[in-house]
Amino acid sequence: MSWLFGLRKEQPPEFPQFPSDTTGMSSGSGSEGGGDQGGGGDDKTKGGKMEAYRFDSTALERAAKAAKDLERSKFSKDALDLSKMQEHTIQLEHQKLIKEYELQIEQTKMDQARIQQEERRKTMAEETKQHQQRAQYQDQLARKRYDDQLLQQQRANEENLRRQEESVAKQEALRKATLEHEMELRKKNEMARVEAEMKAKAKVDRENQDLYLEQIKLKAAENRTTVLESIKTAGSVLGAGFQSFVTDWDRVSATAAGLTLLAIGVYSAKMGTGVAARYIEARLGKPSLVRETSRIAAFEAVKHPIKTSRRLFSKATDALQGVVLKPSLEERLRDIAIATRNTQKNKGMYRNVLMYGPPGTGKTLFAKRLAQHSGMDYAIMSGGDVAPMGREGVSAVHKVFDWAGSTRRGLLLFVDEADAFLRKRSSEMISEDLRATLNAFLYRTGEQSNKFMLVLASNTPEQFDWAINDRLDEMVEFELPELSERERMVRLYFDKFVLQPATEGKRRLKVAQFDYSKLCSDIAKVTEGLSGREIAKLGVAWQAAAYASEDGVLTEKMIMERVWDSVEQHKQKVQWQTAEELKKIKTKMSIKDMAASVVTEKKQIATESSSFSSNNTNQSPPIS
Ligand SMILES: Nc1ncnc2c1ncn2[C@@H]1O[C@H](COP(=O)(O)OP(=O)(O)OP(=O)(O)O)[C@@H](O)[C@H]1O
Ligand SMILES: [Mg+2]
Q: What is the DSSP string of 378-432?
A: EEEEEGGGTGGGTTHHHHHHHHHHHHHHT-SS-EEEEEETGGGTSB-TT-TTS-H
Distance of CA 417 from the midpoint of ligand 2 (Å): 7
**Distance in angstroms (rounded) separating the CA atoms of residues 476 and 424:** 21
Taking the chain (624 residues) in consecutive chunks of 10 residues, what is each chunk's mean pLDDT? 46 45 40 41 53 73 86 81 92 95 95 95 94 94 93 92 90 87 86 81 69 70 77 74 73 82 83 65 71 73 70 70 92 90 88 92 89 83 87 90 86 90 78 89 91 91 90 93 94 91 76 89 93 94 88 89 93 86 65 58 61 48 34
Distance of CA 323 from the midpoint of ligand 1 (Å): 8
Query: Tell me, what DSSP letter sits at residue 286?
Result: P
**Distance in angstroms (rounded) separating the CA atoms of residues 213 and 470:** 94
Radius of gyration of the chain, Cα coordinates, nearest whole angstrom: 58
**Distance in angstroms (rounded) separating the CA atoms of residues 46 and 52:** 10
Q: Which residues surround ligand 2, an ion (CB under 5 A)?
A: 364, 416
Contact present, 288 and 396 (Cβ < 8 Å): yes
Q: Closest Cα to atom 29, ligand 1: which residue? A: 365
Distance of CA 356 from the midpoint of ligand 1 (Å): 12
**Distance in angstroms (rounded) separating the CA atoms of residues 588 and 580:** 12
Distance of CA 531 from the midpoint of ligand 1 (Å): 8
**Distance in angstroms (rounded) separating the CA atoms of residues 529 and 545:** 23
**Distance in angstroms (rounded) separating the CA atoms of residues 420 and 377:** 24
Q: pTM surpassing 0.75?
A: no
CB within 8 Å of 420: residues ≥ 6 apart: 382, 383, 384, 386, 387
Q: Closest Cα to atom 27, ligand 1: which residue? A: 359
pLDDT of residue 297: 67
pLDDT of residue 257: 84
- Residues in contact with ligand 1 by the CB-under-6-Å rule are 323-325, 359-365, 416, 457, 459, 478, 489, 532-533, 536
Distance of CA 348 from the midpoint of ligand 2 (Å): 27
Residue of 273, 288, 296, 272 lying closest to 398 (CA atoms): 288
CB within 8 Å of 542: residues ≥ 6 apart: 494, 497, 498, 554, 558, 559, 562
Point out the ligand 1 atom lying closest to the alpha carbon of residue 322.
Answer: 4
User: Within a 10 A sphere around the Cβ of 193, how many other Cβ atoms?
Assistant: 10
> In the chain, what is the greatest distance between 2 CA atoms, to the nearest angstrom?
218
Point out the ligand 1 atom lying closest to the alpha carbon of residue 323.
Answer: 3
Point out the ligand 1 atom lying closest to the alpha carbon of residue 459.
Answer: 25
pLDDT of residue 266: 82
**Distance in angstroms (rounded) separating the CA atoms of residues 430 and 420:** 10
Q: Per-residue pLDDT tens for 233-277?
A: 777 777 776 777 767 777 778 888 888 888 888 888 777 766 665
Pairing of β 377-382 and β 474-477: unpaired
pLDDT of residue 535: 95
**Distance in angstroms (rounded) separating the CA atoms of residues 452 and 450:** 6
10 Å CB burial of residue 490 (0-12, 13-18, 19+) is buried
Mutate to test the pocket of ligand 1, among 368, 382, 533 (most ligand atoms within 8 A of CB): 533
Distance of CA 512 from the midpoint of ligand 1 (Å): 29
| Domains along the chain with CATH numbers | 284-479 (3.40.50.300), 487-604 (1.10.8.60)
How much is the mean pLDDT over the chain?
80
Pairing of β 474-477 and β 510-511: unpaired
